[in-house]
Structure 1
């Protein structure tokens, strides 16, 4: 792929980190309620054929009304900790990436930390980069693990978009699903494992936004009446940003690691739209089988999407020690980013 000269104008590309780490365990929580395209067609002006052709999505999950994002996080966290053979008290940090936090205060990561019993862990929230928040969270965790006093970090990515989509809005109503996913990162003694390089970029845009509820437009009777607390999205703008930014970001990160996109073994990408994923892989010249797809059964699960793809590869034994992999996403703002990593076995160094 040839990069335009202006490519790096709004990106920051960096090298890897010296202290190696590994993904010791992953977990996913999916609410039991399934909403199919046929279900949506009863209340929205759409059809199963229209949704599949434009998104690749066939069904998605919906969180029960009495539950919140932290409940999904807890279930995913417990599964990931079991897989990593770690207890909550062994965690040094809990990072939650979400734009659908339980409430403005207190923080969702603190709610999760307390419920888990992660008594000595730092609690951190990564918000407002929407679907790209998971990239930011992993990069933050990777840097924390460079500190000799930190050995285990739990990263959670969860979104409950059903709480912020406008009823009857076909544009947003067909895309989004609710889910949470988790990854436990732990120090390892394997040289060369962990973060090889990264690329982060951003460019201000209001084409995907929730306009009300902040200091500029506080909650009022008017904002409630006009639906200002619902997600508004320009689908064409998202397509143009994603199909431009993701291939470029991946290429920059891979080259900073001394690789080409075709050299990367696995791609764990933001599960937004099958056409965006197909376009990105074709642009990069990467076979589709290197990028697991979960959006067909889960929809766009926001920050959780690329973690559900990672979990799919881990649970099916496809991610092996020494493999290289990319995690890449774009979210409202726009924020986008790519991490290039090398997988390792786990050992006692982070325990």
Structure 2
């Protein structure tokens, strides 16, 4: 028997007060590619001092529980967590998040890869588990927490890359139902590009070695240009692959939700898929580059704002790091329901 798995609902959390672009230095003489990649958003949010991934996950979960009730957690047998900057040595923060939620799922996965497209990667894993086992429901949690901890370091804050990231967290609830069925998922690992996004410091040292230089992303002008070229093509490719399999023309998609690296990617992706801006909601100017949380935050915002029609096909698509992973997923959105509506 074929099991239908749905993306039943999502919720999200933005920490602290919005931080304006003026908080960061402005650069007029950086190279052309870097000017595109690091053109800053108007606002972003930073994780608070002492705010842990479990804190952020719990705050992102709260709206979901308010809509569906705390007994939702009684059915969760699968928890997939992607934490951008794990705070627990050797292991991720999945166990701490499960403890904070008060659950002990049979399947608890800390997902290290997937980056900006980790939500789709995690959704695929959760769907496979729900389809093949007696597990009842799943939660996917993404925590993005480097903006206020890495990119706001005094030296990094003065770099062009410092103004781009934002922090936040998102939660998705997957159920065995036909409420908002996941129609298809495409994931592509491209290991030839793995490791191109590096962490560097001056003087050089590995991130665990003592030293005075602050670690930051090791982008060069040529590397930035390659990532821009790669990202421009790979995201529309995976989206078109899913469209072909579900027999929907890209231009007929009701909503496109992508990761949020910069304005140029956002424009190029929707133009490649022949979609108007109103069908491609984004949170870039309010939240910056949210990496793995961007899709959940943006979709939650779009649903809350009434931008996602019931019965509409939503395409999630994005790529990670320097292009070592790309993914797309289509969902037929059945609307946001509350506990009493199920």
- Assess same fold via TM > 0.5: yes
1:114 positional shift: 0.4
CA gap 1:70/1:46 in 2 versus in 1, 3 angstroms: farther
Secondary structure, in 3 states, of the residue corresponding to 2:269?
Answer: helix
Distance, in Å, in 1 between the alignment partners of 2:5 and 2:226 is 37
Residues 174 and 319 (structure 1 numbering): CA distance in 2 closer, same or farther, change over 3 Å? same
2:217 to 231, 236, 245: 231
- For residue 294 of structure 1, what is the aligned residue in structure 2? 283
- Counterpart residue number, 1:9: none
Deviates more, 1:53-62 or 1:239-248: 53-62
1:229-275 CA distance string (max 9 Å, x none):
43333432321121121111111121122222112111111011111
Deviation at 1:98, TM superposition (A): 2.5
TM-score by length of 1: 0.82
Distance 1:241 1:226 in 2: 30
Q: Aligned match of 1:93 in 78, 81, 104?
A: 78
After superposition, where does 1:1-351 map in structure 2 within 5 Å?
A: 18-41=2-25, 45=27, 55=39, 57-85=41-69, 86-162=71-147, 163-165=149-151, 167-169=154-156, 170-189=159-178, 193-205=181-193, 206-210=195-199, 217=206, 219-221=208-210, 224-227=211-214, 229-233=215-219, 234-333=223-322, 334-344=324-334
Residue 204 of structure 1: how far off its partner (Å)? 2.7
Q: Deviation per CA, 1:50-106: give whole Å up to 9, x if none.
A: 989963610101111211222111111232233344432221111112221122334
| 166-175 or 261-270: bigger deviation | 166-175
* Cα separation, partners in 2 of 1:225 and 1:153, compared to 1, 3 Å: same
* Contact 1:30–1:178 under 8 Å retained in 2: yes
Contact 2:254-2:309 within 8 A present in 1 as well? no
Q: Tell me how far apart the structure 2 counterparts of residues 95 and 288 of structure 1 sit (CA, whole Å).
A: 31
Secondary structure of the structure 2 residue equivalent to 1:208: coil
1:178, CA displacement in angstroms? Answer: 0.6
- 1:253 and 1:239 mapped to 2: Cα distance? 22
Q: d(CA) in 2 for partners of 1:55 and 1:19?
A: 44
Deviation, 1:138, is 1.1
Give the direction of change, closer, same or farther, for the CA distance of 1:111–1:134 in structure 2 (3 Å limit): same
Structure 1 residue 327: Cα displacement: 0.9
CA distance in 2, matches of 1:37, 1:94: 35
CA distance, structure 1, for counterparts of residue 254 and residue 285 of structure 2:
22
Matched residue count: 322
2-structure distance, mates of 1:21, 1:232: 40
* Bigger Cα displacement from structure 2, 29-38 vs 74-83: 74-83
Structure 2 spans left out of the alignment, 5+ residues: none
Alpha-carbon separation, structure 1, partners of 2:306 and 2:135: 27
Q: What RMSD, in angstroms, separates the aligned Cα atoms of the two structures? A: 2.9
Indicate the residue corresponding to 1:6 in structure 2.
none
Specify every segment of 5 or more residues in structure 1 that has no aligned partner in the other structure, as ranges: 1-16
Q: Is the 8 A contact 1:198 1:340 kept in 2?
A: no
Structure 2 length-normalised TM? 0.84
In 2, are the aligned partners of 1:197 and 1:257 still within 8 Å (CA)?
A: no
